[in-house]
């Protein structure tokens, strides 16, 4: 099932395609396929839920895409695609899950009305340190002395259809796309190959990829949407370049300032001045303030005053 690099036709990037695929129930097949390959069981999306992330935002769609869906069992699935580096991204994952819990528990409802939540993050930057490209995380209650895993009572098992206490809590999945070596050995690998390269070789058979093949060709986009898509690609490339450049500049200037100043105070002042100059340039180019803050360590209030 392996695939050589650069095989297959180019299709629309998934961060652009996913919202188009979730506009109509008839187009849920591709996302159903990705989820089914990821969890190794059949998943069917029942509906797309309204959330802050599902709303259109001109700035957000250049940096990230996040959608909230519900499967046929009423379980919530957050799918987030993040293009650029975010130092507090793990905290963002936690916030996203917590917000869904609060948004979908009605006032006066019992707590057992909270449905299982899955958080899926598809990231295109180096998130943490690890050798794999697919990571799963969940909550586990393990005995301090006996090392056994805490289970539910027989009544709770029947009521919640779960075995362990941790099964009630959210599950997380992180796909570190850039760490994938582009050798597809499993259906999930075929999906990650597409996520990384936008190509789907003819021999790929993973569930849902045919939906991409038939409905997500760049040449089939209406002219205005195609232009918008190319602007999106330019913006993603531009932001990646700016962030990488600023990292290199920060390291270079920091070393130079450190040698010249020879004092911690001088280095700190130099970094602040440099951050201000970088922030001014990025602000004139229209980059969102929260992203400028991530790059420069300035607060949004400080950026607004520049």
Same domain, residue pair 145 and 204:
yes
Predicted confidence at residue 191, as pLDDT, reads: 98
Q: Does residue 294 contact residue 87 with C-beta atoms inside 8 Å?
A: yes
**What's the gap between Cα 11 and its chain centre?**
19
pLDDT at position 15 over 70: yes
Secondary structure (DSSP) of 238-269: HHHHHHHHHHHHHHHHHHHHHHHH-SHHHHHH
Per-residue confidence (pLDDT) for residue 24, from 0 to 100: 84
Coil, helix or strand at residue 94: helix
Residue 4 forms part of a structural domain: no
What does the pLDDT average to over 218-241? Answer: 80
- In the chain, pLDDT over 90 holds for what percent of residues? 51
More confident residue, 170 or 225: 170
Residues 201 and 296 in one domain: no
- Give residue-wise pLDDT tens across range 66-124: 899 999 999 999 999 998 888 899 999 999 999 999 999 988 899 999 999 999 999 99
Nearest to 171 by CA among 147, 139, 145: 139
Within a domain: 89: yes
Residues 6+ apart with CB under 8 A from 179: 130, 131, 132, 133
Q: Are residues 172 and 251 in the same domain?
A: no
- Predicted pLDDT at 267: 52
Whether the pLDDT of residue 47 is over 60: the answer is yes
Same domain, yes or no: 210 and 277? no
Q: Report the pLDDT value the prediction gives residue 301, as an integer from 0 to 100.
A: 82
Rounded to whole angstroms, the Cα distance separating 101 from 113 reads: 10
Ranked by mean pLDDT, which of 62-66, 165-169, 281-285 comes out on top? 165-169
Question: Which one of 218, 250, 272 terminates a domain?
Answer: 218
Same domain as 276, residue 134: no
Q: Write down the pLDDT at residue 53.
A: 47
Residue pair 21/35 in contact (Cβ under 8 Å)? The answer is no
Domain shared by 206 and 253, yes or no:
no
**Residue 6 above 50 pLDDT?**
no
Q: Provide the pLDDT for residue 11.
A: 92
pTM above 0.85, yes or no: no
- Residue 80 counted as domain residue: yes
- Give the residue numbers spanning the domain of 237: 223-305
Tell me the two tokens of residue 57. Answer: 């935002």
Same domain, 178 and 58: yes
- Domain end point (choices 218, 247, 273): 218
Beta partners for residue 123, in sequence order = 82, 176
Taking residues 172-198, report their average pLDDT.
96
Claim to verify: residue 184 and residue 116 sit in the same structural domain: yes
Count up the domains in the chain and report the number.
Answer: 2
Examine residue 199 and state whether it is found in any structural domain, yes or no: yes
Same domain, yes or no, for 122 and 13? yes
Q: Domain check: are 95 and 122 in the same one?
A: yes
Scored b (16 or more CB within 10 A) or e, 199-229 reads bbbeebebbbbebbbebbebeebeeeeeeeb
Query: Are residues 262 and 199 located together in one domain of the fold?
Result: no
Judge whether 116 lies within some domain. yes
pLDDT at 298 over 70: yes
Is residue 1, in this structure, part of any structural domain at all? no
Say yes or no: 131 and 243 in one domain.
no
């Amino acid at each position: 099932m392996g695939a050589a690099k650069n095989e297959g036709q180019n299709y629309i990037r998934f961060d652009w395609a996913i919202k188009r695929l979730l506009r109509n129930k008839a187009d849920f097949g591709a996302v159903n396929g990705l989820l089914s390959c990821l969890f190794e069981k059949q998943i069917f999306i029942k509906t797309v839920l309204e959330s802050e992330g599902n709303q259109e935002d001109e700035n957000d769609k250049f940096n990230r895409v996040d959608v909230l869906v519900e499967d046929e069992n009423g379980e919530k699935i957050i799918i987030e695609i993040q293009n650029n580096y975010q130092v507090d991204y793990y905290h963002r994952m936690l916030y996203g899950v917590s917000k869904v819990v609060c948004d979908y528990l009605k006032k006066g409802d019992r707590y057992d009305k909270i449905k299982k939540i899955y958080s899926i993050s598809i990231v295109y930057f180096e998130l943490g340190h690890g050798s794999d490209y697919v990571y799963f995380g969940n909550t586990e209650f393990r005995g301090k002395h006996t090392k056994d895993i805490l289970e539910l009572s027989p009544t709770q098992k029947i009521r919640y259809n779960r075995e362990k206490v941790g099964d009630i809590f959210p599950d997380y999945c992180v796909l570190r796309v850039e760490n994938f070596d582009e050798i597809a050995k499993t259906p999930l690998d075929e999906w990650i190959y597409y996520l990384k390269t936008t190509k789907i070789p003819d021999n790929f058979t993973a569930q849902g990829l045919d939906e991409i093949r038939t409905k997500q060709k760049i040449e089939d986009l209406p002219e205005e949407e195609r232009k918008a898509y190319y602007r999106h690609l330019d913006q993603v490339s531009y932001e990646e370049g700016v962030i990488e450049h600023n990292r290199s500049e920060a390291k270079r200037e920091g070393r130079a300032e450190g040698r010249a100043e020879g004092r911690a105070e001088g280095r700190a002042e130099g970094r602040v001045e440099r951050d201000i100059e970088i922030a001014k340039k990025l602000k004139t180019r229209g980059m969102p303030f929260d992203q400028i803050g991530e790059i420069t360590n300035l607060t949004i209030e400080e950026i607004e005053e520049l």
